[in-house]
Amino acid sequence: MQRSTGGNVNTDMINLSIDQVYDLSVDVLSRNGFSAPHTAAIAQTITAGQRDDCQSHGLYRLIICVRTLQSGLVDPDALPLITHPAPAVVQVDAQRAYSLLAFQEGLPHLADKAKRNGVAVLAINNCFHFSALWPEVEAIAEHGLAGIAMTPSHSWVAPAGGTRPVFGTNPLAFAWPRPTGNPYVFDFATSMVARGEIELHRRTGKSIPEGWAIDANGQPTTDAAAGLAGAMLTFGSYKGSALSTMIELLAGPLIGDWTSLQSQAFDAGAKGTPLHGELLIALDPGILGRGQRTLNDAGAEAMLDAIAGQGARLPSERRFKARAKSEQEGVWVSRALYDEVRALGA
């Protein structure tokens, strides 16, 4: 189906059902050599991104997945290795495959340990990672647990006051389970925006807002290509820079994995998906809440209602609205992106 604009048909956009997005993702991934378990895990996450109108983490990511595979970096078949170094710790070695299957395999262990100990940690090592973190913390919240997730990437982002990249986009995500409805969720890069947002601007010839990036000479730029060639900037100046440093340390050396600088060096110009680790933390309100879950939930709901009650938008509300709409109406994808993705499976 093509979108109509004021009585005219817009041939630049195409409408797909959620099932069609998933089927297209499976077709591209499997034809390019990903095993069935990895294909399913990756396709589910890409479909969720497109469904929730997170364009930079939807079908566009198939291009990066295939490019990384063709570069010989990612293993399309390796199965996760799960170990239990401590009662509240589960470690999953992805063996240089994508992180998504490792997370799916590790999640039941993480949830079980959190419900026995009050808190548990899942460390995913040696994984290629491209996805948003909100699907993972939402999955933790479905177990009635609060969830935190963080990961480095490639060194694309300059520290506050600097001009050379050191950090990754270094996202941080959190989910809080609510008694009914969707959880409270936020997921944001500690850079001003996700790398994919700037790439999408470059692909469509749009300028980027000032403050997103600097060029190779350290000067502010609104040119997307120049920003990608230079360095991205952290949000909130030194505050975002400090948070990004924390994520580098906690999701890198703390769990025996790489920093964004090390991931970038390993990539050696291939422009593939970053290779590093991921740290996830699950906390059980039932154990930590001193046995008064109902009372604690009421306090949390009163606080969240006080935010929404004055017209402020809770994080992820836009995503949840897009999700409900997509489930009824499907999603709109640019014809150019659709054709490029389909060609990957030819």
Pairing between β-strand 157-158 and β-strand 146-150 as defined by DSSP bridges? unpaired
CA–CA dist 275, 267 (Å, integer):
8
Q: Which residues contact 29 (CB under 8 A, 6 or more apart)?
A: 38, 39, 42, 43, 62, 65, 66
Q: Give Cα separations from 36 to 67, 77, 97, 340, 346 (angstroms).
A: 19, 9, 13, 23, 18
Active site residue 197: yes
Residue with tokens 């990903």, as numbered in its chain = 34
153, burial (CB in 10 Å: exposed 0-12, middle 13-18, buried 19+): buried
Q: Which of 138, 197, 199, 278 is catalytic?
A: 197
154 close to 168: Cβ distance less than 8 angstroms: yes
Closest to 319 (Cα-Cα) out of 202, 188, 146: 188
186 close to 174: Cβ distance less than 8 angstroms: yes
Q: Which residues contact 195 (CB under 8 A, 6 or more apart)?
A: 153, 156, 169, 189, 228, 232
Give the strands of the sheet with 2-5, arranged side by side.
2-5, 8-16, 331-334
Q: Which of 17, 30, 35, 56 is catalytic?
A: 56
The two three-digit tokens of residue 250, written as one number: 């906690």
**Continuous segment of H or E residues that includes residue 325:** helix 317-329
Active site residue 201: no
Q: Which of 25, 38, 57, 316 is catalytic?
A: 57
Handedness of CA 291, 293, 294, 297 (dihedral sign): positive
Q: Active-site residues: which are they?
A: 56-57, 197
